[in-house]
């Protein structure tokens, strides 16, 4: 679930007085677990993200990337692998006071670059802020196109029977993807071809 950001998280206000210029993006370390939990569980308390435990974040710490502002953790996100060809961007959260500083954009760029380094064919996410992801090169897809996510994680989610998140997907290596399953795009009433990696 990705809800700890808004559409303006894509914008970098570099020319604005007081704009943040000392942001550092890096892979997470074990000592980042506490601030990651504070960030994610702060949004979970508002019902817009799923809560995470110390054990879960410790187990998945190698998935996480973080952004620091003057040494203070202001954003986090994870790239979780599902198969040799597809991964999920998840647990993406930006501190409330930092939402208009392009941190969400930097996190997505960093995670997509990491996915490309691992030669993934595509990455997907579940989100409430689909417009943000559209601006980052993702397209909305039918949730049923991502069956691994549904059976591995979603069945444990308290919102499983009433999920209102939007599935988005970005193809990284189109030469390894095929087009499959047309469905109606509600906005344009046109058929959309959903790309699925050959090697799933």
Q: Which two tokens stand for residue 89?
A: 């961007």
pLDDT band at residue 155 using 50, 70 and 90 as cut-offs: low
Name the burial class of residue 64, with classes exposed (0-12), middle (13-18) and buried (19+) by CB atoms within 10 angstroms of its CB. buried
pLDDT in tens, 60-113: 999 999 999 999 999 999 999 988 888 999 999 999 988 778 999 999 999 999
- Segment 118-143 mean pLDDT: 90
Tell whether the model's pLDDT for residue 151 goes beyond 80: no
**Greater confidence, 157 or 26?**
26
Please write the tens of the pLDDT for every residue from 34-68: 999 999 999 999 988 888 999 999 999 999 999 99
Question: What pLDDT does residue 198 have?
Answer: 52
pLDDT category of residue 21 using cuts at 50, 70 and 90: low
Q: Which residue has the higher pLDDT, 197 or 92?
A: 92
Confidence check: pLDDT of 192 > 60: no
Q: Which of 112, 95, 132, 109 is nearest to 20 (CA)?
A: 95
CB atoms within 10 A of CB 181: 13
CA proximity to 105, closest of 119, 128, 89? 89
Task: Give yes or no for residue 136 having a pLDDT over 50.
Answer: yes
pTM: 0.76
Contact 102, 10 (CB under 8 A): yes
Q: How far is CA 89 from CA 13, 92, 113, 191, in A?
A: 24, 7, 12, 26
Which homologous superfamily is 7-172 in?
Answer: Gcn5-related N-acetyltransferase (GNAT) (3.40.630.30)
| 21 and 33 Cβ atoms separated by less than 8 Å | no
All residues at 6 or more sequence positions from 170 whose CB lies less than 8 Å from its CB, including other chains? 112, 122, 123, 124, 133, 136, 137, 138, 139
Span 133-144, average pLDDT:
88
pLDDT of residue 159: 60
In angstroms, the CA 56 to CA 182 distance is 36
Cross-strand partners of 64: 78
For the ranges 92-96, 131-135, 176-180, the lowest mean pLDDT is seen at 176-180
């Amino acid at each position: 679930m990705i809800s700890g950001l808004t559409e303006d998280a894509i914008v970098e206000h570099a020319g604005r007085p007081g704009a943040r210029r000392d942001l550092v993006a890096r892979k997470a370390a074990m000592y980042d677990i506490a601030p990651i939990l504070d960030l994610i569980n702060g949004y979970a308390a508002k019902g817009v993200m799923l809560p995470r435990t110390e054990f879960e974040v410790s187990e998945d710490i190698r998935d996480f990337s973080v952004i620091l502002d003057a040494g203070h953790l202001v954003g986090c996100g994870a790239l979780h692998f599902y198969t040799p060809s597809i991964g999920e961007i998840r647990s993406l959260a930006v501190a409330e006071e930092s939402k208009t500083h392009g941190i969400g954009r930097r996190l997505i760029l960093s995670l997509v670059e990491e996915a490309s380094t691992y030669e993934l064919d595509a990455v997907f996410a579940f989100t409430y802020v689909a417009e943000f992801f559209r601006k980052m090169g993702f397209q909305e897809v039918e949730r049923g196109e991502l069956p691994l996510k549904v059976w591995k994680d979603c069945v444990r989610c308290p919102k499983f029977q009433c999920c209102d998140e939007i599935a988005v997907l970005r193809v990284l290596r189109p030469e390894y993807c095929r087009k499959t399953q047309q469905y109606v795009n509600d906005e344009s009433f046109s058929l959309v071809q959903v790309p699925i990696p050959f090697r799933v």
